[in-house]
Amino acid sequence: MDAAIPVPFTHASERVLPAWIDHNGHMNIGYYLVAFDNATYPFFRFLGQDDAYRQANGSTTFALESHLNFLREVHEGDELRFEARLIDFDAKRLHFYMEMFHAADGYCAASFESLSTNISRATRRTAPMTDALLERLAAIKAAHAILPRPWQLGHSISAHPPKRA
């Protein structure tokens, strides 16, 4: 494992803002997505899809599908920390997973699974990532593969969910 690859990636944080609080006195569901989206920026920079890469290659990323799991409440002013890992990738897509933790109390408040695609800014269509980026992603995926598989990955929504072991 490359010592320079954090397992998992942990360099993202956020504070619950007053505007994010709903009538129940906790963070509104829409702002969980905002917080996770904010946390993807440092994660994507770590992956190698930083501003320099995007400019040099005329590319960007678009989200294709995302799944949120709301596990515990967070409240105004709470500090949040995020852990992220690369699950899989191909020439055009990234499958990643993140968890949101209450920074002071340590509990997992939510999880986020997402699939993003590399996009050509010129055509606004999917486009392959560079070989150099794909090599970096392979190293990160190998390092992150030692982490246990989260139960949330790939699950479906049902009124009768399967029992977890």
Per residue in 95-139, pLDDT (tens digit) is 999 999 999 999 999 999 999 999 999 999 999 999 999 999 999
In a domain, 158, yes or no: no
Q: Which pLDDT tens digit goes with each residue over 31-88?
A: 999 999 999 999 999 999 999 999 999 999 999 999 999 999 999 999 999 999 999 9
Q: What is the CA radius of gyration of the chain?
A: 17
Q: What CATH number does residue 101 fall under? A: 3.10.129.10
Residue 73 is given by DSSP the state: -
| Residue range(s) defining the domain that contains residue 110 | 9-144
In a domain, 28, yes or no: yes
CA dist list (Å): 108 to 8, 29, 160: 15, 15, 23
Residue in this structure with the two tokens 């599908």, named with its chain if needed: 65
CA dihedral (130, 135, 139, 141) positive or negative:
positive
In a domain, 152, yes or no: no
Residue 165 has pLDDT above 80, yes or no: no
**Overall domain count for the chain:** 1
